[in-house]
């Protein structure tokens, strides 16, 4: 993949997990990074990691995406400093493509992201490609906390996946970078990253 000189990657939720891994992968490809998160300390730590490990420019911005005024101010800041987006990649989940017993609220939120992606892709077709990646269970701090509460869950989850393990955050991040930089004719699509779990 060629390095993206002069381009900027804006990553919301970049303070940890898949978001943090994505910032690092984009930085490796020559992007300057904006790390947006409600967790200001985590965003700053991500920026420090990028600057130390990749020697790339990284700027933290605190934003609460559940608050409309926060989002409006954030978007205006991005427009002023960096201009418009060239590609949008939304991270949803396989829970956004199927039911998830006992986790209805989580599943609904992930289905909503898929709907947002499809509507936005149709609205901006020919101008901005909009796609969605849908990972299954991924090795992140959130999943690690979940596994601590239910010790048998990790082994059961690994066993339920045809390839015998969950995804790494880097594997998901690498796909996000590919979609954003190489999939130029693709828009309105969901990419399932589940190790084959939805095949059966």
Is 124 a known active-site residue?
no
DSSP per-residue letters across the chain: ----TT-EEEEETTTSHHHHHHHHHHHHTT-EEEEEES-HHHHHHHHHHHHHHT---EEEEE--TTSHHHHHHHHHHHHHHH---S-EEEE--GGGTS--TT-HHHHHHHHHHHHHHHHHHHHTTTT--EEEEEE-SEESHHHHHHHHHSTTHHHHHHHHSTTSSPEEHHHHHHHHHHHHHT-TT--S-EEEESTTGGG-
Is 110 a known active-site residue?
yes
Catalytic residue among 7, 72, 110, 124: 110
Catalytic residue among 7, 72, 84, 106: 106
Catalytically active residues, by annotation: 106, 110
């Amino acid at each position: 993949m060629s390095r993206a000189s002069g381009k900027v990657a804006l990553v919301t939720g970049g303070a940890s997990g898949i978001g943090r891994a994505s910032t690092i992968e984009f930085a490796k490809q020559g992007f300057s990074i904006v790390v947006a998160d409600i967790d200001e300390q985590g965003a700053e730590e991500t920026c420090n990691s990028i600057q130390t490990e990749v020697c790339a420019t990284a700027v933290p911005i605190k934003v609460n995406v559940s608050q409309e005024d926060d989002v409006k101010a954030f978007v205006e800041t991005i427009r002023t400093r960096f201009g418009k987006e060239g590609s949008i990649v939304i991270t949803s989940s396989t829970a956004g493509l199927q039911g998830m017993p006992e986790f209805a609220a989580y599943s609904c939120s992930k289905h909503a992201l898929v709907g947002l992606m499809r509507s936005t892709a149709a609205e901006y077709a020919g101008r901005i490609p909009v796609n969605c990646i849908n990972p299954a269970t991924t090795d992140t701090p959130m999943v690690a906390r979940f596994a601590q509460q239910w010790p048998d869950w990790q082994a059961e989850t690994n066993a339920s996946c045809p390839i015998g393990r969950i995804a790494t955050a880097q594997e998901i991040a690498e796909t996000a970078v590919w979609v954003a930089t190489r999939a130029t004719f693709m828009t309105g699509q969901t990419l399932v990253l589940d190790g084959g779990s939805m095949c059966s």
